[in-house]
Amino acid sequence: MLLRHSATSPFVRKVAVLLHETGLIARVSLATVDGWAEPDELTADNPLSMVPTLVLDDGSTLYDSPVICDYLDRQHDGPTMIPTDGAARWQVLRDQALADGILDCAVLVFVELGKRPEDKRWDWWLDVKRRAITRALDLLEREVGRYGGRIDLGTISVAVALGYLDLRGAVGDWRDARPQLAAWYARFAARPSMVATAPPA
């Protein structure tokens, strides 16, 4: 399998952490690509020009990150990262959706601040996205007590989202007034899978 990836994409990191946690990393080669540049090798595999994009051995392609993670979780023999049924399944998928939503907002903030010309910035848009991230973080602070030592696609997604907030600083210091979340993240971020996939500073 070939994973079209970028070292700073948090959606790629989610897939990469899952690959490490399941031992599948040895079966995947990585091809670095800049989705924003719309390179031919990426758009041929994914017309949306987005990473992550997974190319399977038969040449077929999978995206986006939830679809790739679902596929990969069926390719290993260890504990599943997505429970197959019951309340636990919906909890994990909702946790992934919440974390991916934080990332969608944080990427939009990054684009607004990092790519859009300064005189064209839209403060209302920035504020709406930052408030969404803030509400989601407050919910995580209330809920993180139930995570315990869970290692699954939900907790991986949340940890990756928090790591991306550290990388890009979309909402300032998210640890402020969220001690439970900060303590949980400190433990999770020390996992070898998180260390191995940390984005360049």
- C-alpha to C-alpha distances, 36 to 29, 115, 159, nearest whole angstrom: 21, 11, 25
- Rule CB under 6 A: choose which of 3, 35, 181, 185 binds ligand GSH: 35
Q: Which is nearer to ligand GSH, 102 or 178 (CB)?
A: 102
Q: Is 22 in the site for ligand GSH (CB under 6 A)?
A: no
**Which listed range, 46-54, 132-140, 174-182, 192-200, lies at the site for ligand GSH (CB under 6 A)?**
46-54
- Compute the least distance from the CB of residue 161 to ligand GSH, in Å: 11
Residue 137 touches ligand GSH, criterion: CB under 6 A: no
CA distances to 14, 109, 129, 135, 141 from 5, in Å: 11, 21, 25, 29, 30
Residue 3 is a binding residue for ligand GSH (CB under 6 A): no
Question: Which is closer to ligand GSH, CB of 26 or CB of 37?
Answer: 37
Q: Residue 132 Cβ, how far from ligand GSH at the closest point, in Å?
A: 16
Q: Which residue from 43, 64, 88, 101 is in contact with ligand GSH, where contact means CB under 6 A?
A: 64
Residue 51: CB minimum distance to ligand GSH, A: 4
With CB under 6 A as the contact rule, which of the stretches 23-31, 47-55, 87-95, 149-157 interacts with ligand GSH? 47-55
Residue 23 backbone zone (phi > 0: left; psi -120 to 50: alpha; other: beta): left
The first and second tokens of residue 65, run together, are 């990150």
Per CB under 6 A, contacts with ligand GSH among 147-186 are: none
Strands 29-32 and 2-5, by their bridges, are parallel
- What is the C-alpha separation between 175 and 62, in angstroms, rounded? 35
Tell me how far apart the alpha carbons of residues 99 and 161 are, in angstroms, rounded to a whole number: 6
What is the rounded distance in angstroms from the CA atom of residue 161 to the CA atom of residue 155? 10
Question: Quick one: 168 exposed, middle or buried, by C-beta within 10 A (0-12, 13-18, 19+)?
Answer: middle
Q: Which of 21, 22, 49, 144 binds ligand GSH (CB under 6 A)?
A: 49
d(C-alpha 38, C-alpha 23), whole Å: 31
11 contacts ligand GSH (rule: CB under 6 A): yes
Q: Which of 55, 8, 78, 64 is closest to 36 using CA atoms?
A: 8
Exactly one of 17, 18, 51, 82 binds ligand GSH (CB under 6 A); that residue is 51
| Contacting residues toward ligand GSH, per CB under 6 A | 9, 11, 35-36, 49-52, 64-65, 100, 107
